[in-house]
Amino acid sequence: MYRFRVYDPAGPDGSWSLQSAHLVGSDGRSAPGIIRRDGAFIVCEPEGNRSIGLALLVSVGADERTVLQTCLLPARPEPYDLSIEIARWAIKQWLERCEAWQMWRPSLSADSAEKWEDARVCFRAALKCDDPVEAERLARKSIAVGIDAAESLTERHADFLLAQRFRRKGASAATFGVCVDPALPPTVASCAAAKLFDVIALRTSWREIEPKAGKRDYSKLDAWMQWATNERKFIVLGPILDFSVRNGAPCELPAHVIAALKKPKQFRELVHDHATDIASRYPGVKLAIASSGTNLPYWGGYGLDQIFDWMRVAITSLRTANRSLNSMIELQSIAGEEWKGATNFAWPVSFVQRIVSENLPIAAIGLRVVEGVGSDAVHDLLTLATVIDRFRGLEVRTLVSAFGMPSAGATDRVGVRRAGWSDEVQRAWGGSMARVALGRPFIEAAWWSRLQDAAGGPHDGVLDVAGRAKPVLRELVELKRRVSVPLGGLEVDVV
């Protein structure tokens, strides 16, 4: 058993939410166990005799709340000071990434090294302080400065990688894309914004197409398909089989399809018919997302064998109906925080490894990195970069099939970036995340998660509800313009 002491001016229930809390094992994977409160302590009871870390939403600075963690710690009778252990981890993370990315030289790390040193000074002061309240203040300051240092290092590293990747050759025409929700009809404003992207990923919701069994309505999808075809855009359809989960329940499958999950043969037939119908209706499309969210632990009760059978049915049905149609599989919640050692399911990277080993006939995998929307909590850029790097070298083409962050919305459950959601926060994160993704040579493309905000949310679009462009649109278009031609310059020895 582990106990973490919490000193908080707002009381033990103040700024330490357990909403996204989970244990972390030695390999960085979420681990099974119980996390609970006990007065001024957070108590962790991991399964088995192992060293663990605690990850949870942490208040960083004035309003920012992001998922951070402690280092791996041995069990002991005495409690740990939570803020001090998180500060220790933040300092350690910077050191590890700096070494892994070969960013030691001051000319490379720049002010990031100075910020890290400031964080270290505050951390040492917190360790020596006898006043627990003052020690808490110093530790929290160390955390805030340490995360700032980590993000500065990540952005510097991304800029060097981007310059290195596109030094001699500009980005391909399929590098930048945007996801479009066909439920919002094309307008002058939305079409003008979509035209700025090379790839149009039409998020094909089975629930919207066939809300009742046998009654299909493609009118909304047809409108966007016609526009994208006329504009000669590269079109992506899907997910054909969307296993997204919201509030603990499937949210993109029609009710009659969910009911058929308990009847494997009937469910396979429904998947086959749905995939065949879409592929036959749009013969000009060359790429489809066969499935999304099939890696989520929510579906663990069906077992990996059953999940892979469903994916194979979708992929085969698409290709049979349209011989020129390639398929990809999209992973959600790629940090794997909800996995927690489930024995009947797979860690996200292991899920991809099984896709490769079973030789599923796919063209690529997609990574969905949408922060602050749905159930995925907010992470700092260094953590996101580290998570994406886990998918390097998996012998399958990889792209970021959706990345985004809202400009408005609730913050109580999943955290919040910087001083709160805003257009400027979304713009800054969008530009940074695009560089983090595309700077990595194994990431072939990156598509923004939403074209236009929906009334009532989500608000991660590049256009607001009224169709006005947000600053993030200009940020992405400017980056697209910059890397469309060779950047030139000297080669920098970073990895």
Residue 386 lies in a domain: yes
Tracing tokens 């582990």 back to the chain, one arrives at: 2
The pLDDT assigned to 13 comes to: 47
In this prediction, residue 122 carries a pLDDT of: 97
* This prediction's pTM: 0.94
Q: Which pLDDT score, from 0 to 100, does residue 412 have? A: 60
Q: In this structure, are 236 and 385 located in the same domain?
A: yes
Cβ distance 79 to 64 under 8 Å? no
- In a domain? residue 393: yes
Could you say which residues of the chain have pLDDT below 50? 12-13
Asked if 233 and 198 count as a contact pair (C-beta separation under 8 A), the reply is yes
Q: Which residue, of 164, 182, 209, is where some domain finishes? A: 164
Asked whether residue 184 falls in the same domain as residue 330, the answer is yes
In a domain, 493, yes or no: no
In a domain, 494, yes or no: no
Residue 159 domain flag: yes
Pair 31, 50 in one domain: yes
Q: Strand, helix or coil at 409?
A: coil
Helix (H) or strand (E) holding 438: helix 423-438
- Report the pLDDT value the prediction gives residue 105, as an integer from 0 to 100: 85
- Number of domains the chain is built from: 2
pLDDT at 248: 81
Query: Residue 244: phi, psi to the nearest 5?
Result: -60, 145
DSSP state of 209: H
Q: Are residues 224 and 114 in the same domain?
A: no
Distance CA 415, CA 399 (A): 26
User: For residue 366, what are the β-bridge partners?
Assistant: 330, 399
Q: How high is the pLDDT of residue 281?
A: 97
CA–CA gap between residue 421 and residue 405 (Å, rounded): 9
Residue 434 Cα distances to 125, 360, 398, 482, angstroms: 37, 29, 15, 12
Structure tokens at 436: 């983090």
Residue-level pLDDT at 353: 96
What is the per-residue pLDDT for 10?
56
Q: Which of 136, 164, 192 marks a domain boundary?
A: 164
Interhelix angle 132-165/423-438, rounded to 10 degrees, is: 50
Q: Is 187 found in the same domain as 142?
A: no
199 and 96, same structural domain?
A: no
Confidence (pLDDT) at 494: 67
Q: How far is CA 364 from the centre of its chain?
A: 17
**Sign of the dihedral defined by the CA atoms of residues 369, 371, 375, 377, in that order:** positive
Cα–Cα distance, 411 to 56 (Å, whole number) = 14
Task: Report which of 300, 310, 216, 329 is spatially closest to residue 263, judged by C-alpha positions.
Answer: 310
- Examine residue 412 and state whether it is found in any structural domain, yes or no: yes
CATH number for 381: 3.20.20.80
| 3-class secondary structure, 347 | coil
**Does 230 lie in the same domain as 151?**
no
Are 216 and 107 within one domain? no
Range of the domain at 55: 2-164
Residue 242 lies in a domain: yes
Question: What are the DSSP calls for 88-156, one per residue?
Answer: HHHHHHHHHHHHHTT--SHHHHTHHHHHHHHHHHHHHHHHH-S-HHHHHHHHHHHHHHHHHHHHHHHHH
Q: Are residue 370 and residue 390 in the same domain, yes or no? A: yes
Q: Which of 164, 195, 227 is the last residue of a domain?
A: 164
The three-class DSSP label of residue 449 is coil
Domain co-membership, 151 together with 107: yes
Residue 317 forms part of a structural domain: yes
**Based on the domain organization, do 178 and 315 belong to the same domain?**
yes
Could you list the beta-strand ranges (E) of 138-293.
176-180, 199-203, 234-238, 241-242, 245-246, 249-250, 287-292
Q: 277 and 180: one domain?
A: yes
Alpha-helix runs per DSSP H in 166-245? 188-194, 206-209, 219-230
